[in-house]
């Protein structure tokens, strides 16, 4: 009996199964990386802080170009951060207009003032819901004392969260992807 080699399913072929894997890279511009590093140096012992990432989808890739910081109406506690201040929306809308409709909301960041930059169950559920609502990949960061980590929400039957690792350093910033 002659066997034919089995073809692997491409990203397009698995969509009907409800799978949309993130196969791209995330470019983290220097200003965004520097912000995450500064937050990592100063977050220990403080209440949580957070904001949104603004950037661009470039084919299968996401470029993080800007970010927001907590607004005066945001709710911050030692173990939670809730964005309620309209400043985040206003900054994202301004970026959208000034970029000719290329820059947009692409995710969020927040601190964990104690422990590691690992997402809680609540973080994972919230991130998956955001990506599901937007029907696109989103990037999320957790900043802990002296370190930070980047994650992407992707669809594998259900929306799930995958950690990204630095794959290279470029002129524009760090490049992260699944390893």
Mean pLDDT, residues 46-54: 97
**Residues linked to residue 146 through DSSP beta bridges, in sequence order:** none
pLDDT digits (tens, 9 = 90+) for 87-144: 999 999 999 999 999 999 999 999 999 989 999 999 999 998 998 898 888 999 999 9
The whole-model pTM stands at 0.85
Question: What whole-number percentage of the chain has pLDDT above 90?
Answer: 70
Q: Residue 157: its pLDDT value, please?
A: 58
Q: To the nearest whole number, what is the mean pLDDT of the chain?
A: 87
Q: Are 117 and 147 in contact (CB under 8 A)?
A: yes
For residue 50, give the nearest of 26, 76, 73 by alpha carbon: 76
Show the tokens assigned to 149: 């980590």
Strands in the chain per DSSP E: 19-20, 26-29, 50-58, 61-67, 75-77, 80-82, 104-111, 138-144, 147-156, 158-169, 173-177
Residue of 8 and 68 predicted with greater confidence: 68
Is the pLDDT at 1 greater than 60? The verdict is no
Q: So what's the pLDDT on residue 106? A: 96
Largest alpha-carbon pair distance within the chain? 72
Torsion (CA) 12, 178, 130, 40 in degrees, nearest 10: -170
Report the distance separating Cα 96 and Cα 143, nearest Å.
26
Per-residue model confidence (pLDDT) at position 156 = 64
């Amino acid at each position: 009996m002659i066997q034919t080699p089995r073809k692997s399913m491409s990203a397009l072929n698995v969509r009907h199964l409800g799978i949309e894997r993130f196969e791209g890279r995330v470019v983290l511009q220097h200003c965004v990386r520097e912000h995450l590093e500064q937050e990592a140096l100063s977050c220990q012992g403080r209440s949580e802080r957070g904001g949104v990432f603004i950037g661009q989808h470039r084919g299968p890739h996401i470029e993080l170009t800007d970010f927001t910081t907590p607004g005066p109406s945001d709710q911050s506690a030692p173990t939670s951060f809730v964005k309620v201040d309209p400043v985040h929306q206003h900054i994202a809308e301004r970026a959208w207009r000034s970029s000719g409709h290329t820059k947009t909301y692409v995710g969020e960041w927040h601190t964990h003032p104690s422990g590691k930059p690992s997402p809680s169950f609540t973080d994972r559920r919230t991130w998956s819901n955001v990506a599901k609502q937007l029907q696109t990949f989103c990037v999320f960061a957790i900043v802990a004392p002296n370190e930070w980590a980047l994650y992407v929400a992707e669809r594998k039957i259900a929306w799930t969260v995958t950690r990204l690792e630095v794959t290279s350093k470029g002129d524009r910033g760090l490049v992260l992807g699944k390893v």
